[in-house]
Amino acid sequence: MAARRVAVTGIGVVSALGQSIPEFYRALAAARSGIRHLPESVAAGSGVQVGALIDWDPAAHFKAPEAASLDRVAQFALFAAGQALAAAKLDLQNADRTRIGVYWGTGMGGAGTLEAAYQTVYGKNDFRLRPLSVVMAMNNAAGSNIAVKWGLRGPFANFSTACSSSAMAIGEGMRAIQAGRADAVIAGGAEALLTPGMLAAWQALRTLAPADAADPAASCKPFDQKRAGLVLGEGAAALVLEEESKARARGAPVLALVTGYGNSCDAVHMSKPDRDGQVRAMKEALAESGRAPADIGYVNAHGTATVVGDVVECEAIRAIFGGHDVPVSSTKSMHGHLLGGAGALEMAAALMPFQEGVLPPTAHLANPDAACTVRHVTKAERGAMPRAVMSNSFAFGGSNVVLVAERAA
């Protein structure tokens, strides 16, 4: 039997850069940042100054009872998945939905629901909580809501490996299709933890960038000498993955092929990144794709803009690509760090060259740090036609996930 290859047939996004793929790609091409000052209602006393906060109106997407039963993270997930399904033109009514799965990723799950419950218990000494608290806060709620909404009864998995969660969901979703366990999968991830308590916890890590005094939108500066840490974001991204021959047989839009998935653990430290672990994940993804480093025409870096992390990743990229002048950018400079949703949103960004012929840049990279020497994309580069692209996701806990995708022939 010929190997089952995996096509991307639809993408959907919810981000501070827009809530559709065209809006998202337009913002990336223009190097427009969605990062801004956080209002007092969100930041409260946490001390966190900036974030990629989405102007989200649940009423625009859900009836009141449905919205009330969905944490913000699940609302993001459903809207992104709906876009991806629509783009894929998948005829769910006539599809065998026991062959369609959901592979989702999130770091914190229903953070807002959890925080509201704690406020009630500890803030008001009221122990009578909303009956839906558990099913709204649980980590698998976003993915399960996607399965329920569209009746997707195939394999289901939810990954929570911090910043690699949704990249892992895409990789494992690809595996499920390769292994013949599913013919299609909604794969992606979501995060919505811009809440006072969560922000306070992140602030305590001392890894968040303060607001850029001149321009808050420029607070996240990956690879720059003045980089001062990451900026948290929120949102979701979903990909429809399908077995290629079935997708082509139904005339689906084949946007790309996912051909490589590397997964390694540093097993060294909970928060400090490790070059060797990253190198192993990149090597594994390349080996599976059957591509040489020279075939990769764009790398969407993890690039969080932390002082240590960017240096280690650039060392790992140089170790893999050596003398090859592979263009690298971190789009987190614009959409912020979506944590559990980052891998999926950045996979959407990494596929941009295939759709638009444009390499998305690292915004606000005025003075690259010598320790971060790679071939930086500092402005959108048009006319790029890479054969293949790579997306890196490296997480607290030492989880490294690397995905390789190829242009659909």
Partner 1 sequence: MDTLARIKELAVKELALDLSKIDPAAPLDALDVDSLTFIEFIFKVEDEFGVKVSDEDLRKIKCLADLERHVAAALQAAGKA
- Segment holding 159, helix H or strand E: strand 156-159
- Of the listed 335, 337, 364, 376, which one is catalytic? 337
| CA 359/CA 110 separation, integer angstroms | 33
The residue among 64 and 370 lying less far from partner 1, judged by its C-beta, is 64
Per rule CB under 8 A, is residue 130 in the interface with partner 1? yes
Q: Do residues 372 and 223 make contact, with C-beta atoms less than 8 angstroms apart?
A: yes
In the complex, the smallest distance separating the C-beta of residue 78 from partner 1, rounded to whole angstroms, is 17
Instruction: Please give the structure tokens belonging to residue 275.
Output: 């070059």
Smallest separation, CB 148 to partner 1 (Å) = 13
Total residues interacting with partner 1, rule: CB under 8 A: 11
Measured from the CB atom, is 118 or 322 closer to partner 1? 118
Cβ nearer to partner 1, comparing 19 with 75:
75
Q: How many residues does the chain have?
A: 409
Residue 214 touches partner 1, criterion: CB under 8 A? no
Minimum CB–partner distance for residue 145 and partner 1 (Å): 15
User: From the list 40, 122, 131, 383, which residue makes contact with partner 1 (rule: CB under 8 A)?
Assistant: 131
Q: Please state the closest distance from residue 137 (CB atom) to partner 1, in A.
A: 14
Tell whether residue 132 is a contact of partner 1 (CB under 8 A).
yes
- 309 Cβ contact list (under 8 Å, min separation 6): 273, 302, 303, 394
Is position 163 annotated as part of the catalytic site?
A: yes
Complex with partner 1: residue 56 or 62, whichever CB lies closer: 62
Binding mask 272-311 for partner 1 (x = CB under 8 A): ----------------------------------------
Half-sphere exposure of 32 toward its Cβ, with a 13 Å CA cutoff?
A: 12
Residue 376 designated active-site: no
Q: Would you say 376 and 223 are in contact if contact means Cβ atoms under 8 Å apart?
A: yes
Catalytic residue among 163, 220, 314, 372: 163
Q: Considering only 36-44, 129-137, 255-263, 400-408, which stretch makes contact with partner 1 by CB under 8 A? A: 129-137
User: How far apart, in Å, are the Cα atoms of 21 and each of 12, 118, 161, 232, 348?
Assistant: 6, 36, 25, 21, 8
For residues 50 to 89, the per-residue mask of contacts with partner 1, x marking binding by CB under 8 A and - elsewhere, is -------------xxxx-xx--------------------
Q: Which residue has the tokens 């990229």?
A: 317
Q: Which helix (H) or strand (E) holds 115?
A: helix 111-118
Instruction: Using the minimum distance from each CB to partner 1, give the nearer residue, 23 or 126.
Output: 126
Q: Which one, of 139, 154, 125, 336, lies nearest residue 234 by Cα?
A: 336
> Per rule CB under 8 A, is residue 123 in the interface with partner 1?
no
Inter-residue contact 286 to 292 (CB < 8 Å): yes
Among 41, 122, 128, 385, binds partner 1 (CB under 8 A): 128
Q: Whose Cβ is closer to partner 1: residue 58's or residue 253's?
A: 58
Residue 252 is classified by DSSP as -
Cα separation of the two ends of the chain = 21
CA distances to 7, 68, 256, 381 from 408, rounded to whole Å, are 8, 41, 5, 20
Of 191, 200, 206, residue with least CA distance to 38: 200
Q: Does 251 bind partner 1 (CB under 8 A)?
A: no
* Smallest distance from partner 1 to CB 362, Å: 45
Which is closer to partner 1, CB of 71 or CB of 266?
Answer: 71
Q: Name residues whose C-beta falls within 8 Å of residue 164's C-beta, 6 or more positions apart in sequence.
A: 105, 343, 393, 394, 395, 399, 400, 401
CB of 65 to partner 1, least distance (A): 5
Task: Check if the beta carbon of residue 100 is closer than 8 Å to that of residue 161.
Answer: no
Give min distance, CB of 194 to partner 1, in A. Answer: 24
Query: Annotated catalytic residue: which of 302, 335, 364, 376?
Result: 302
Give the residue numbers marked as catalytic.
Answer: 163, 302, 337
Interface with partner 1 (CB under 8 A): 63-66, 68-69, 128, 130-132, 135
